[in-house]
Amino acid sequence: MLRFLLFLALAFQASAQDTMIREVFDTGTDTHVEVLALFTKPSPGGYFPVRVKIANNLKSDRSIRLDFTSSQNYDDRLQTKSSFDFSAGAGKTVVRDIVVPLSPPNGYYANNQIEVRMSGSLGDAENSIYAELGPDQPAVLLSEALFTPNASALDAEILKKIGSSHRGSSEFSSKFDPKQLPDDWLAFSGYDSVIMTDGDWTKVPPGAKNAILAWVRLGGQLIVYSNSPVVRASLGLPAETGYGSLLLETVSSGFPKLDETEVIEHVTDNLVKPRQTSLRNDFRGSWPLQIHFGSQAFRYGLFIVVLVIFGILVGPVNLFVFAKSGQRHRLFITTPLISLGASLVLIILIIAQDGFGGRGMRRVLMEVRPDGDLNAAYVHQEQFCRTGVMTGSRFTLETPVAIQPVAIAGSRWARFTDGPGAKGNLNLQPADGKILASGDWFQSRSEHGHTLSAVVSTRGRIETAGSPGSYLSTFDFPLETLYFMDAGKQWHRAENITTGKRFTMTPVDETMVLPALTKEANAFSHRNNQFLELAKNRPGHFVAITSQAPGIATNPGIRWTETRSVITGPVVVP
């Protein structure tokens, strides 16, 4: 009996986490607001999907505002804020899905607390939701059908494999209802794996299926369990998954009970490390892009000279020349003037040394999928920059982007490093298909590293062009070098490819290809390096290299001196 009551209590607690706010404004008309978390736990970084329902059964229009604060460390010095406004006409029910930006992972444990405050003409309310993962633990989404029979065993197994979280426990996954999955890939961007049954997949709405597959092509892992063998085509799943993976697993007996050891192995023993581990560790030691950009020492000499001259002027010269005996009252004028002059000189020196704005370098890894009417590019970008005097902190990301600061090596220039000392307001505001960024993304006289992921529409492709051995590029930029592996796993190479101009390829030995591709892969951080390693040896696919492709634009005050792109994808037969 005690076990049964405990089970009911845990079940109630798990389901209660879904509803962040339910505020009944008028009981007579059942006018109310619901703020529903579509996943039971937020991920370390990325976005958190929330469904907002306003049932306005009154005779006047009503509106609300939701203010979200996501904090990643325990003293709330590292935060991401966002706000959303909603309105419902008289007698109308409005349902909207939003993605709430989350603060980036930082520190040994990945924790995230989301606070929401509601205000407006339908009342005031507030609540919070909290989650944490153990060190190096992947963020996993598990469907409700698999969560109920497997959660306890999976929690115990991940505790043995990874270790406990900050509070001494370990939860393997967040839970979701497949019928209520969001149709925005950003909602999945902070997770490493999504696990469900084949029956769950058939319940997923079409828009959410597209979002999940976009997330997979960016590097996510989708695992589908069934009690009998199934093929991808029967579920409408693609054969090609870009930088991600898709596993179809059969459980012969006891389904939907899973082998917890096997599940943990699937999500932890991949070549690509968990996203939170990559963001915390891959950039703080020997990040190739930062090394290539080079370091800059702080120039102490000029500032020491200015301070010495200031000390002489404000001291003996001021006292014995400008305000000598009998004229000490002049000190009230000369001392502020000397201080102001010294400050101006220091400002001029800073501007002369560092300039306005900043400069940096970018590395872009892109998978293009013109097949299946996708016409999309799945982009990973990592960038490093050093700023001078920044005149503005706000910028607009013109396309929905998962952007995160990365923890770089500690120095007097670094503003975001790994550990409890990190602080900053890294605010993001999704609005009208764009994302408005503000706060401490690009601080003055600092070094910053970021990763960005995006799905963008493109007509760029490599396609066959009529006669055998002839090809065509429709990319809007030239390609320096292109490597292609045919169906027989023979490598080919072409150079200096321009848009719309036919070209041919020359067969080459793999010893003329693999070292070049390894060099390009090693110029990325570990996670993107592994993505390229997994994608480069696919028959019927190409790998192109260019320094003239555009990157994802961020702060316009940064001048990107180099943008090196590696593009992968299939060669298309029109």
- Sort 566 into a burial class: Cβ within 10 Å, 0-12 / 13-18 / 19+: buried
Q: Could you report the per-residue pLDDT of 443-495, keeping only the tens digit for each? A: 998 999 999 999 999 999 999 998 788 999 999 999 999 999 999 999 999 99
CA angle at residue 430 from 425 to 435, to 5 degrees? Answer: 75
The whole-number average pLDDT for the span 142-155 is 96
For residue 97, give its domain range: 18-132
Q: What is the dihedral of CA 31, 35, 36, 38, to 10 degrees?
A: 140
Judge if 362 and 335 occupy the same domain: no
| Domain shared by 553 and 492, yes or no | yes
CA distance 251 to 150: 13
Within a domain: residue 521? yes
Alpha-carbon distance 415 to 72, whole Å? Answer: 16
User: Looking at the structure, do residues 485 and 570 belong to the same domain, yes or no?
Assistant: yes
| 107 and 27 within one domain | yes
Q: Residue 22's domain is classified under what CATH number?
A: 2.60.40.10
The more confident residue out of 348 and 34 is 34
Beta bridge partners of 365: 380, 566
User: 378, 376, 102: which is closest to 215 by C-alpha?
Assistant: 378
Q: Give domain status of residue 181, yes or no.
A: no
Lowest average pLDDT, out of 24-28, 208-212, 443-447, goes to 443-447
Distance CA(29)–CA(25), nearest Å, equals 9
In a domain, 4, yes or no: no
**Residue 471 and residue 342 share a domain:** no
Label residue 352 by pLDDT band (50, 70, 90): low
Which one of 115, 132, 149 terminates a domain?
Answer: 132
Pair (363, 341) in one structural domain: no
User: Are 330 and 457 in a shared domain?
Assistant: no
Does residue 343 share a domain with residue 327? yes
Alpha helices in 163-299 (DSSP H): 198-203, 206-217, 260-268, 275-281, 288-293
364 and 315, same structural domain? no
Confidence tier at 11 by pLDDT (50, 70, 90): very low
Considering the domain architecture, whether residues 316 and 454 belong to the same structural domain is answered as: no
The β-bridge partners of 431 are: 434
| Residue 246 CB partners (closer than 8 Å, separation 6+) | 216, 221, 222, 223, 224, 232, 237, 238
Q: In the chain, how many domains are there?
A: 3
Contact criterion met (CB below 8 Å) for 84 and 98: yes
Name the pLDDT band for 222 (thresholds 50, 70, 90).
very high
pLDDT of 52-100, one tens digit each? 999 999 999 999 999 999 997 556 688 999 999 999 999 999 999 999 9
**pLDDT at position 342, please?**
72
CA angle 430, 432, 437 (to 5 degrees): 35
User: Quick check: is 195 in a domain?
Assistant: no
Look at residues 85, 111, 132 and tell me which one is the last residue of a structural domain. Answer: 132
Share of the chain above pLDDT 90, in %: 69
pLDDT at 345 over 80: no
- Which pLDDT band holds residue 9 (cuts at 50, 70, 90)? very low
Q: Do 310 and 372 share a domain, yes or no?
A: no
Residue 539 lies in a domain: yes
Q: Which two tokens stand for residue 469?
A: 């051995």
pLDDT surpassing 60 at residue 6 = no
pLDDT at 293: 92
Q: Is 312 helix (H, G, I), strand (E, B) or coil?
A: helix
Give the count of beta carbons closer than 10 Å to the beta carbon of residue 141: 26
Q: What angle do CA 513, 514, 515 make, to 5 degrees?
A: 95
Element (H, E) at 155: helix 144-162
Cβ-based neighbours of 363, under 8 Å, separated by 6 or more:
289, 381, 382, 383, 523, 524, 528, 563, 564, 565, 566
The values of phi and psi at residue 506, to 5°, are -110, 130
- Span 158-182, average pLDDT: 84
Contacts of 94 (CB under 8 A, 6+ apart): 52, 53, 54, 56, 86, 87, 88
Same domain, 381 and 479: yes
pLDDT score recorded for residue 409: 85
Which of 132, 153, 170 marks a domain boundary? 132
Do 116 and 63 contact (CB within 8 A), yes or no? no
- Burial class of residue 192 in the structure, from the number of CB atoms within 10 Å of its CB (0-12 exposed, 13-18 middle, 19+ buried): buried
pLDDT at 2: 38
Q: What is the pTM of this model?
A: 0.88
33 is a domain residue: yes
